[in-house]
Amino acid sequence: MPATPMKSLHELGQELLIRAHEASSGRAAATINEDHRTLKQLVLALRAGSALSEHENPGQATLQLLSGTAVVSTAEAAWRGSVGDYLVIPDRKHDLRAESDAVVILTFVKDTDRPEPPAATDSKEQQ
């Protein structure tokens, strides 16, 4: 089995932040494990003040902040994270808002009965 090439998440995050600043949506994303069928991982960069609007959880999902600060909100609660923080995303509608320029890793196990999150769709358009 061939070795998986090493990727610098910091460098990728910085490249995506540049693209996020150029994008009208204020965000840019890249898939980091394209060969897996159900486990999806995205590096998502959000310009300060930009957001992923409320959407369904795509399945089992986590978020880890690589840089900046961001807030995940549901109707019941809000979680504010900063560099190094990790969140198991609640299994209900939620949104993600960048308080400052932020880079996150979004990991989810795709439930084929649920739609992909907006970031997953955007990543295909912005790569």
pLDDT in tens, 8-50: 999 999 999 999 999 999 999 999 887 777 888 999 999 999 9
* Continuous segment of H or E residues that includes residue 14: helix 9-22
Percentage of the chain modeled with pLDDT above 90: 57
Domain covering 28-126 assigned CATH 3.30.930.10 in the classification: no
* pLDDT tens figures, 57-113: 777 889 999 999 999 999 999 999 999 999 988 888 999 999 999 999 999 887 666
Integer-rounded Cα Rg, in Å, for the chain is: 14
Judged against a pLDDT cut of 80, whether residue 116 lies above it is answered with: no
* pTM beyond 0.85, yes or no: no
- Residue burial 94-110, b: 16+ Cβ < 10 Å; e: rest: bebbbeebbbbbbbbeb
The domain segmentation of the chain, as residue ranges, is: 28-126
